[in-house]
Structure 1
Amino acid sequence: MSEWGMGDFQLAQANITIGRWSFDHPRMRGFTNRIDPVNDLAHRAPGFVWRPSAEQAMADLRALGRDPWREAFNMSVWESVEALWEFTFSGVHLEAVKLSARWFDPETAADVMWWVPAGYRPTVGEGLAKLDLVRANGPTADGFTFRRRFPPPDFLE
């Protein structure tokens, strides 16, 4: 259970970074070979709720004029900040995070979290807009980070 309780909200998250090379480049194999194992672990992680399929996310990125072969975009929904933290900073995912500078320019990395009504599935466009929001305004109740967290809306009333 979350420090703020489960309530009627779940935690959406999105992150993005730009590859040093296209994902089909041999130098990106260390990253691309980890995608399926990390996603499989996420799907089995306590507190995981949902993520769009890779095919859907790539199609949406293309439709929004983005390059899914250079931009590593990830979005998912979790029961709580704590559940996402436990997955993010442990095991194979943490190993990939520690190695990420091999494959990605750290200056391009961005992440965001925001509360959504339980059962809601955000779009890739929403995730990109939330990333832009945090870049422009820093963490707010509408888009925040692990370093500066905000409670779900039902705790703000």
Structure 2
Amino acid sequence: MTDAGHLAQFNIARIKYPLDDPRMREFVDNVARVNGLADQIEGFVWRLKDDSGNAMDMGVHGDKRVLPNLTVWENVAALERFVWKTLHYRFYQKREEWFEHIEVTNAMWWIEAGTRPTLDDGIARLDHLTQNGPTDYAFGWQQIAGAQHWKTARCPAPSEHAA
């Protein structure tokens, strides 16, 4: 996948419990903290948010249990640094406590600098990746030349646990 402009990233997570459930407290209590970190990291451009400062009240395909996250980054290195080398990674490692397993949760695509994708854009890209596999229209970490941190830092998918 070719690097052109900025990198848009969309991911989803389906919560196991209502956001006000005590089992979700650690996650909910740290959303603003992790988002604030993203907002300040070098290479961060933009993220989708509503008046609450996050996107947790926006559902995907009409399902309010599916939380969207849509961000734009100057480059792959900035996104990798945020995802795998900051406090964000600590919460990523605990995702199975809060979220149900979804086979494809993340889609990325290149956009022209200054473009602000919509929630519908993110949903369309993720749906395309799920149905068609990686293309220039939507791809994952595996298709990004030079992306390295995800290979060693990511948590194994449930199917990778059995060997």
TM-score range relative to shorter protein: 0.7 to 0.9
Spell out the pairing of 1:18-33 with structure 2 (5 A cutoff).
18-33=14-29
Q: Which moved more, 1:23-32 or 1:108-117?
A: 108-117
Q: How does 1:113-152 map to 2 (within 5 A)?
A: 113-149=108-144
Per the TM alignment, residue 44 of structure 1 is displaced from its structure 2 partner at its CA by 0.5
Give the equivalent residue in structure 2 for 1:61: 59
Q: Distance in 1 between matches of 2:144 and 2:94?
A: 26
Q: How large is the Cα RMSD of the aligned pairs? A: 2.3
Q: Does 1:41 align with 2:37?
A: yes
Corresponding position of 2:154: none
1:17 counterpart SS class: strand
Change in 2 beyond 3 A, CA 1:124/1:136 = same
Deviation at 1:100, TM superposition (A): 0.6
Partners of 1:60 and 1:21 in 2: CA distance: 16
Q: What is the number of residues matched between the two proteins? A: 143
% identity of equivalent residues: 36
CA–CA separation in structure 2 for the residues paired with 1:79 and 1:65: 30
Corresponding residue for residue 155 of structure 2: none
- 2:85 matches 1:90: yes
Tell whether the 8 Å contact from 1:61 to 1:124 is kept in structure 2 after alignment.
no
Q: Extract structure 1 runs of 4+ deviating beyond 6 A.
A: none
* Higher relative contact order structure (alpha carbons within 8 Å, sequence separation ≥ 6): 1
Q: 1:95 to 1:60 in 2, by over 3 A?
A: closer
- Partner amino acid for 1:134? L
In structure 1, what is the equivalent of residue 100 of structure 2?
A: 105
When normalised by structure 1's length, the TM-score is 0.82
